[in-house]
Chains A and B, each alone.
Chain A
Amino acid sequence: MKGIAETEKKKSDNNYGLGFDPIDVDPLISEHLYKLENEKIFKKTWLKVARVEEVSEIGGFKVKKLDFANTSAIIVRGKDNQIRAFHNICTHRGNKVIPEEGNETFGKAKANVMTCRFHGWVFDTDGSVRSVPKEEEFESFDKGCYGLKEINCDVWEGFVFINLDQNPSQTLREYLGGMADHFSGYKYGESTYAFTYRTVLNCNWKVALYAFTEGYHVETIHAGTLPGLAQTIVHKDFKLFGPHSTSAVYSKRREGAGIEPTPVTAKLGGMLKESPIHGPKLDELPKSINPEKSDDFQFEFPTIFPNLVKHVCAGFSYPGLSYFTHQFWPMGVGKTVWEGTNYFHKPKNAAEAVAIAHVNALHRNAWLEDTGTMEDTFEAASSGVLDRMPLMTEELMIRNTHAHWHQYVTESE
C-alpha cells in the first residue's frame, strides 16, 4: 500500500477509506513512539534534502544536518555531474569531513576533493579515498575499503531526496507513486529567487506538520494577515496517494490584487500579477492540478510523507509566488526544526524585487501566525488532558498522514 496509488477513493467511501474517528494524541508526545518513528519512518523513507540549484556547480556541496539520525548528509555534485550523498563522517576515526555551520552548510570541493582536518584523509567527490597520509603505517590496509559511507540519493523534478536505509524497499519514484505524476512537469527550476526561514519549535514534528496541512485554520489564524483569503477560502480536490495526499485551495476572488487589496498590496501585488514572468500561469500547472482551470485557484497543497509540504502556486494566490515548501525535521519528541522557503522567478529590475519583498513579507507573517499555535498544542498534548483529537473534512490530509504513520510504526521488519 505504501507509495502506490490506491484505487481512487472518494469522500462517500467512508471518508476516502479513512473513517471519521478522532486521532490519538500519543504519537505526538511519546518518547517510545518517537524512537520507533525514527527507525521505521525517518531512516526508511525518502526525505527531500536539497534542490539541484543548491549544488549547481561540479564540486558544489550542501551539508544537511539530520539530528534524528545523529548524522549529516553531504550532498555533492561529482565530476561526472552526478549528485551523490554521503555521511559527513570520516571513515578513519569519525571526524566531520566538512566542518558544519548550523543546520545547513554550503561550499565547493576544490579540485573535487574533500579533506578531513583531523588527519588529512582526502576523499574524492565520488566518495572514494584519494589519499591517506602515512598510508604505509597502516598494516594490512586497503584504502579502497574506506570510501565515505554513501547514502542512497535520487532526484525528482530537481528535488534531491535521500534514503538512509542501505537497501530501500522502494525507489524514489515508486515511493512517490501517483504523487510524482500529479506534481511533475512544473518548472520548479525556473524559480530560483528564494527566501528561507527556519526556527526550532518546542513541539513534535507532527504537531507542526499537521498545523500546516489543513485549510480549516485559515479563516481564524490568518484573519490578521490574509483577511481576504480567510473570508473566501475553499479547500477541496483531495486526493490520496498511499501515505502522501494532496488538495487545493481556491478563493472566491475579489477585485484587486490577490490576497488582500490594501493599497500597497494592490500596487505591488498588482505589478507582479500583470507581469508575464511573475503573473498567474494556468498553462504551466501540471494537468491534474486545478483541473477545471479556474481563475479562483490559489495553490495546490500536498503532504509528501513524512515531512515535506510543497505548495504550487504558479503566480496565483500570493502575487508572483511560484511555489513554496515547508519541512519538519525532528530533533527530539518535543523539538523540531521547521524550514519554510518561498520561491519566486528572478526579478527583472529593482521595482519587481521590492514587490517580491512585500509578498514574501506577507507570507512570512502568515507563517508567524501558523507557528504561533504549535508550542501550545504540544504543551496541551503533553498535559494528558486530551487523549484524542476530532478532525473535520478539511483536515483529511492529517488523517491520512496519521493513519500511514501508524502503519509504518507498527509494521514489523
Chain B
Amino acid sequence: MNILPTEFSSLSRFVEKWAKPTENLRTEQRISSSKEEFMEFYENTLPLLDGILEYLSRYPLGTLSGSDLCLYHLALSFAEMAPHAELYKGSADVPFSFEASRFVTIHGDEIDS
C-alpha cells in the first residue's frame, strides 16, 4: 500500500519516488537523483525523523504491513541517501569513487519487511 500513516502524510509526495522495497531499487533511485531531489527529501524528512523512529520502534522486523511497511521503506531510503545530502553536497555519486553501479549487492533483491 503506497500510503503513509496519517501523522507522516506530509511526506506522501516522496513515496512514489523513494519508498522502495529492496536495496537494489533504492540504489537505482539514489544514483539517478538530482541535488534538488536529495535536498528536498532530506530537508522535509529530517524534522520528522524522531517521530518516524519512535513509530517504527514498535514493530519487530517481519510484522510490518500496509502504511507501516511503506513508512519503513521510505525511512530506509532516507537512511541510505542521507550521506548524499550531508556529506556529498547533493551529488548522486560518492565523490572520487568507484562506479556504484559496478557493486553487486548480494542481498539487493530481497524485500525488506
Contact = CB atoms under 8 A, between A and B. Distances in A.
Interface residues of B, number: 39
A347 B57 CA distance: 10
Contact of A224 (B68, B79, B82, B88): B88
A361 B94 contact: no
Contact of B97 (A104, A346, A353, A369): A369
Given A196-B107, A265-B86, A369-B94, A357 B76 contact: yes
B98 A227 contact: no
A232 interface: no
B96 A197 contact: no
A362 interface: yes
Contact of A361 (B52, B59, B79, B97): B79
A352 interface: yes
Contacts of A196: 105-107
For chain A, give the interface size range: 35 or more
Interface in B47-93: 49-50, 52-61, 64, 68, 72, 75-76, 78-80, 82-83, 86-88
A221 B97 CA distance: 9
Contacts of B105: 195-197
A265 B49 CA distance: 12
B59 A349 contact: yes
A171 interface: no
A264 interface: yes
B50 A262 contact: no
22 contacts: A197-B103, A198-B106, A224-B87, A224-B94, A224-B95, A225-B87, A263-B46, A263-B86, A264-B78, A271-B53, A350-B56, A350-B75, A351-B56, A351-B57, A353-B61, A354-B75, A361-B79, A365-B83, A367-B103, A368-B98, A369-B96, A374-B98
